[in-house]
A and B are shown apart, each in its own frame.
Chain A
Amino acid sequence: MADLQDDLHSAAEVGRVDDPLPEEAVVVGPEDYEPVSDPDDTPLTRARAVLAAHPVADGYSGLPAALRRLPWYDLDLGESAVDADVPRLRKGQVGAVFWSLHLPGGPGGDGAVGATLEQLDLAKAVVAAHEQGLRPARTAGEVADARNCGRVAVLFGPAGAAALGDSLSVLRSLHTLGLRVLTLAGTSWAGAAGLTRFGEEVVREMNRVGIVPDLSHASTPTIRRVLTLSKAPVLFTRSAARALRPHPANLPDDLLAEVGRAKGLCLVPLTAEQAGPGVRDVADHLDHVRSLAGPECVGLSGTYDTGSAHPQELHDTSCYPRLIAELLRRGWEESDVALLTWGNVQRVLRGADFAAHTAQQRRPPSTATITALDG
């Protein structure tokens, strides 16, 4: 497998010799992209056609915590108390969604591990109770399978770093239970000063098991260190452009360029606070991130059901076609839209699995402890 990272072999040669990855793993360049919409149609009609082929992979939903507050709900028929239910996910042409396991009361110290297990258990139960609409997914392949079966793929994460209880064993257990994204902020080993030695070991172990680092809300030193350290692509599950809107979780231009060079993925949140009050503001952020980081490094984060206010016209998960129509109106290539909505998230998930397979050949599970490394 390591051959794939060796410059001596061209991608074509590797594909011919033993084709170790599914075909979709090869990044489709714009020249290979086959348009699915009629350029003469209205932007909204075109948006629906593109989304039918390349649905939205939404990088952040607060639904598990939101449902926790409800005594009763029905996501199949429609649930007005939340921003996402199966009919509106379908109407919005959402194909996959990351369900946040961040704890409602903040990062939390003692008890964070158990609380995260409970949140994960609840999320799994909700998915299991809506099997006509939702399907749990752990890998890019399972996401594609869910989509082929007409289900919205649900991925579990991000969880907060406190969910590890400072233990790599807990990290591995959470991976076994389905966690796929972890936010590297809010602990002693991933704080304002950046990663400690244990923090770096956490990132290496995340790479080894296949948990994607989330750097939204991480400190700048942490972001810079993880961008160079991580063997797998990183996510920013909720970050827009700071040049357009000064929010601490938004990324300044120099970091956006670094994210592009590291082939990370910046998911722009559809919130009024981080992106702005209208659909055009969100599109401005997407334009900006695309131009600095590149079309392979920008994606969408609904950030629904988190208590945040959303731009007008993007008030719930049914509204994505309006945003895509705006981008097409601005002249986005269909191929770039396809990457934005679906392709980039799939690339990151594949990258995490690939890095894990490679690392597992080389490294046993880490037994490092925070006391041994950070004293």
Chain B
Amino acid sequence: MTSLDDARALLAEFPVVDGHNDLPWALREQVRYDLAARDIAGDQSAHLHTDIPRLRAGGVGAQFWSVYVRADQPDPVPATLEQIDCVRRLLERHPRDLAPALTAADMEAARAEGRIASLMGAEGGHSIGDSLGVLRGLYDLGVRYLTLTHNHNVAWADSATDEPGVGGLSAFGREVVREMNRLGMLVDLSHVAATTMRDALDATSAPVIFSHSSARAVCDHPRNIPDDVLERLPANGGVAMVTFVPKFVLQAAVDWTAAADENMRAHGFHHLDTTAEGMKVHRAFEETHPRPVATVSTVADHLDHMREVAGIDHLGIGGDYDGTAFTPDGLGDVSAYPNLIAELLDRGWSRPDLAKLTWQNAVRVLGAAEDVSRDLRASRAPSHATLASLDG
């Protein structure tokens, strides 16, 4: 047996829980939510990183679907509801493959049935419109994590890729974290500034996640997690889900991306544009400036480091498929997770360790958040604090 066969056998038993997939955003941008025009029951490799046959081939057992909307949207709240509606419609269309999941128990039930547990995560505090009432509405609609910021600061939390604002979390930001704890919604610290990570770890009473972030010590990009934060995960119980995005994991790619982004802006596109026209401009740049290539090994280097610092119980995977224009060699789409597992087997990771990485840690964290929520709901009423009342 090759290590790839071993990897597949392992994933059959302990499939991947992936922390972040932007299929809903891709469906919005490419086909205005016309799900028939991108029927994921069949091969969509010409347009998407994700479809059901490739999720199956990749050994994916649970997916947090991102219900991301851009922060510069005139009103992000209804746009987020549209993304949630998209996921719900996907689940209705593919009931034999995708199982709606709200809890750790739902995830285990889906695994037992051989379906892909489908959860939702909202990417950025802008999606709650500075309102704990809206936060609860998102929870009631099935959202199980909120990334506190996206690429820009919100009024109550600093982003990794923006200038310092409130210096981490404001008083209202801490109240958002506490209310998420009460609800049982996971606090996602991908995209946030290191100051926000530390403030959130101080404020939370439940394990946190990083839905798609790698190690800053391996590649110095603000989207990655510094070691002092990784070191706090054992005490917190949370999980850092390694991401594959080349421009975050490979230093040469970080530098190349800075130049490529400048080129996109020079052509009048948003630097994260993934439309056909935007991609064309990107490709033209790439022809004249060969793109540094990340590989499976690059990602495995991050995992080796994160394991050393945070420990095996605090690792996971968050590919960011359909949310990134480029992918590492060998990790081109959602069918590729076995390649990563095979690489780790070759590096001597044991089967029990890999089961934690792929499945057990993430399920444990959601279950732990539910336990904290049960306790808090018994002792605390919903918070009606407002941004104005706490931050003045």
Bound state CA distance, A176 and B34, in angstroms?
A: 21
Q: For residue B382, which residues in chain A have a CB less than 8 angstroms away from its CB?
A: 121, 125
Whether A113 and B81, one on each chain, are in contact in the complex, defined by CB atoms closer than 8 angstroms, is yes
Q: Which residue of the partner chain, among A118, A120, A165, A367, contacts B32 with CB atoms under 8 Å?
A: A367
Whether A113 and B85, one on each chain, are in contact in the complex, defined by CB atoms closer than 8 angstroms, is no
Task: Name which of A44-52, A80-88, A167-175 contacts chain B.
Answer: A167-175
Bound state CA distance, A273 and B140, in angstroms?
A: 38
Whether B133 and A118, one on each chain, are in contact in the complex, defined by CB atoms closer than 8 angstroms, is yes
Residue of A nearest to B138 (CB): A117
Whether B85 and A173, one on each chain, are in contact in the complex, defined by CB atoms closer than 8 angstroms, is yes
Task: Name which of B72-80, B149-157, B250-258 contacts chain A.
Answer: B72-80
Whether A170 and B133, one on each chain, are in contact in the complex, defined by CB atoms closer than 8 angstroms, is no
Q: A114-B77, A167-B81 are in contact. Are A369 and B32 (CB under 8 A)?
A: yes
Q: Which residue of the partner chain, among A114, A129, A165, A173, contacts B131 with CB atoms under 8 Å?
A: A114
> What's the nearest-Cβ distance from chain B to residue A369, in Å?
7
Residue of A nearest to B86 (CB): A169
Whether B137 and A165, one on each chain, are in contact in the complex, defined by CB atoms closer than 8 angstroms, is no
In the complex, whether B278 has a CB less than 8 A from a CB of chain A is no
Whether A169 and B75, one on each chain, are in contact in the complex, defined by CB atoms closer than 8 angstroms, is no
In the complex, whether A122 has a CB less than 8 A from a CB of chain B is yes
Whether A111 and B75, one on each chain, are in contact in the complex, defined by CB atoms closer than 8 angstroms, is yes
Bound state CA distance, A122 and B131, in angstroms?
A: 12
Q: A176-B141, A367-B32 are in contact. Are A122 and B133 (CB under 8 A)?
A: yes
Q: A365-B89, A369-B32 are in contact. Are A117 and B82 (CB under 8 A)?
A: no
> What's the nearest-Cβ distance from chain A to residue B175, in Å?
15
Residue of B nearest to A365 (CB): B89
Q: For residue A6, which residues in chain B have a CB less than 8 angstroms away from its CB?
A: none
Whether A114 and B82, one on each chain, are in contact in the complex, defined by CB atoms closer than 8 angstroms, is no
Bound state CA distance, A346 and B140, in angstroms?
A: 26
Q: Which residue of the partner chain, among A114, A167, A170, contacts B134 with CB atoms under 8 Å?
A: A114
Bound state CA distance, A177 and B138, in angstroms?
A: 9
Q: A172-B85, A365-B89 are in contact. Are A110 and B75 (CB under 8 A)?
A: yes
> What's the nearest-Cβ distance from chain A to residue B380, in Å?
12
> What's the nearest-Cβ distance from chain B to residue A268, in Å?
32
> What's the nearest-Cβ distance from chain B to residue A74, in Å?
14
Q: Mark B41-80, 1 if CB is under 8 A from A, else 0.
A: 0000000000000000000000000000000001101100
Q: For residue A177, which residues in chain B have a CB less than 8 angstroms away from its CB?
A: 137, 140-141
Within 8 A of A (CB), among B21-46: 32-34
Whether B136 and A170, one on each chain, are in contact in the complex, defined by CB atoms closer than 8 angstroms, is no
Whether A117 and B89, one on each chain, are in contact in the complex, defined by CB atoms closer than 8 angstroms, is no
Q: For residue B367, which residues in chain A have a CB less than 8 angstroms away from its CB?
A: none
Chain A contact residues: over half helix, strand or loop, or mixed? helix
Q: Mark A101-129, 1 if CB is under 8 A from B, else 0.
A: 00000000011011001111110010001
Whether B85 and A121, one on each chain, are in contact in the complex, defined by CB atoms closer than 8 angstroms, is no
Bound state CA distance, A303 and B81, in angstroms?
A: 30
Bound state CA distance, A367 and B381, in angstroms?
A: 37
Q: For residue A365, which residues in chain B have a CB less than 8 angstroms away from its CB?
A: 85, 89, 92
Q: For residue A170, which residues in chain B have a CB less than 8 angstroms away from its CB?
A: 78, 81-82, 85
Q: For residue B33, which residues in chain A have a CB less than 8 angstroms away from its CB?
A: 169, 367
Interface size class on chain B is 20 to 34
Q: For residue B85, which residues in chain A have a CB less than 8 angstroms away from its CB?
A: 169-170, 172-173, 365
In the complex, whether B84 has a CB less than 8 A from a CB of chain A is yes
Bound state CA distance, A176 and B100, in angstroms?
A: 14
Q: A129-B381, A169-B82, A173-B84 are in contact. Are A117 and B75 (CB under 8 A)?
A: no
Whether A121 and B82, one on each chain, are in contact in the complex, defined by CB atoms closer than 8 angstroms, is no
Bound state CA distance, A173 and B77, in angstroms?
A: 11
Residue of B nearest to A120 (CB): B137
Q: Which residue of the partner chain, among B77, B84, B141, B381, contacts A113 with CB atoms under 8 Å?
A: B77
Whether B140 and A114, one on each chain, are in contact in the complex, defined by CB atoms closer than 8 angstroms, is no
Q: For residue B129, which residues in chain A have a CB less than 8 angstroms away from its CB?
A: 111, 114
Q: For residue A119, which residues in chain B have a CB less than 8 angstroms away from its CB?
A: 133
Q: Which residue of the partner chain, among A113, A114, A121, A369, contacts B136 with CB atoms under 8 Å?
A: A121
Q: For residue B381, which residues in chain A have a CB less than 8 angstroms away from its CB?
A: 125, 129
Q: Which residue of the partner chain, among A118, A173, A369, contacts B81 with CB atoms under 8 Å?
A: A173
Q: For residue B88, which residues in chain A have a CB less than 8 angstroms away from its CB?
A: 172, 176
* Most A C-beta atoms less than 10 A away, residue of B92, B140, B381: B140
Whether B34 and A169, one on each chain, are in contact in the complex, defined by CB atoms closer than 8 angstroms, is no
Whether A118 and B82, one on each chain, are in contact in the complex, defined by CB atoms closer than 8 angstroms, is no
Residue of A nearest to B132 (CB): A121
> What's the nearest-Cβ distance from chain B to residue A131, in Å?
13
> What's the nearest-Cβ distance from chain A to residue B95, in Å?
14
Bound state CA distance, A170 and B80, in angstroms?
A: 9
Whether A167 and B137, one on each chain, are in contact in the complex, defined by CB atoms closer than 8 angstroms, is no
Residue of A nearest to B89 (CB): A365
Within 8 A of B (CB), among A336-355: none
Whether B82 and A113, one on each chain, are in contact in the complex, defined by CB atoms closer than 8 angstroms, is no
Q: Which residue of the partner chain, among A113, A367, A369, contacts B78 with CB atoms under 8 Å?
A: A113
Q: Mark B116-153, 1 if CB is under 8 A from A, else 0.
A: 00000000000001011110110011000000000000
Q: For residue B86, which residues in chain A have a CB less than 8 angstroms away from its CB?
A: 169
Bound state CA distance, A121 and B129, in angstroms?
A: 14
Bound state CA distance, A119 and B137, in angstroms?
A: 10
> What's the nearest-Cβ distance from chain B to residue A166, in Å?
8
Bound state CA distance, A28 and B381, in angstroms?
A: 43
Whether B78 and A167, one on each chain, are in contact in the complex, defined by CB atoms closer than 8 angstroms, is yes
Q: For residue B34, which residues in chain A have a CB less than 8 angstroms away from its CB?
A: 367
> What's the nearest-Cβ distance from chain B to residue A119, in Å?
8
Q: Mark A251-289, 1 if CB is under 8 A from B, else 0.
A: 000000000000000000000000000000000000000
Can you identify 6 A-B contacts, CB atoms within 8 angstroms?
A113-B77, A114-B77, A167-B82, A169-B33, A172-B88, A176-B140
Give B residues with C-beta under 8 Å from A.
32-34, 74-75, 77-78, 81-82, 84-86, 88-89, 92, 129, 131-134, 136-137, 140-141, 381-382, 384
**Closest 5 A/B residue pairs (Cβ):** A118-B133, A165-B78, A169-B85, A121-B133, A169-B82
15 further A-B pairs in the complex, CB-CB below 8 A; given A114-B131, A125-B384: A110-B74, A114-B75, A114-B129, A117-B131, A117-B137, A129-B381, A165-B77, A165-B78, A167-B78, A169-B81, A170-B78, A170-B82, A365-B89, A367-B32, A367-B34
